[in-house]
Structure 1
Amino acid sequence: MREIFTGLPWWVKWVAVPVIALVVFGGLIATVVGFLIGLLFKLLLFVALVGGLIYVVRKFTAGTSSRGDW
């Protein structure tokens, strides 16, 4: 791979090739990043809902701790 870029100017290696890669793979990169952000949001939403459920259950069962049945 190093032999391919040997005689080329610096801007081809550091500007043109990454720009071409972004143009070709830009949709794929955007899809992967969007999927990861969506997954992170769903994970945070899940944690918040489970935490809220645990809080509500403990809040309501704290007053009825003397009663053993549901």
Structure 2
Amino acid sequence: MKRAFMTLPWWVRWIALPAIAVVVLGTLLGGLVVWLLHLLFRLLLIAALVAVLIFVVRKVTSSSSSGGGGW
């Protein structure tokens, strides 16, 4: 394997093969980063919705307990 690699021209060893590796691994890493950002966005969205729900429930229960007539 090493002999086959060493018989390649210099530009294949030092330019073409690293370029192929960067494209393949870059695409893989890019997909992973996009997936992680998507997951983070979903988690933040869930946290925001839960916070809004808690705020609305507290607002409704505090106004109904004070005799304001609710909605």
1:35 aligned counterpart, secondary structure: helix
Residue 43 of structure 1 deviates from its aligned partner by 0.5
Choose 1 or 2 for highest CA Rg: 2
| Identity across matched positions, percent | 50
| Letter paired with 2:43 | L
Structure 1: which 5+ residue stretches go unaligned? 1-11
Structure 1 counterpart of 2:60: 60
Structure 2 counterpart of 1:31: 31
| Letter paired with 1:65 | S
Residue 64 of structure 1 deviates from its aligned partner by 1.9
CA distance in 2, matches of 1:63, 1:41: 33
CA distance in 2, matches of 1:61, 1:22: 57
Number of corresponding residues: 52
Instruction: Show structure 1 runs of 4+ deviating over 6 A.
Output: none
Whichever structure has more helix as a proportion of its residues is 2
Residue 24 of structure 1 deviates from its aligned partner by 2.1
| Letter paired with 1:21 | A
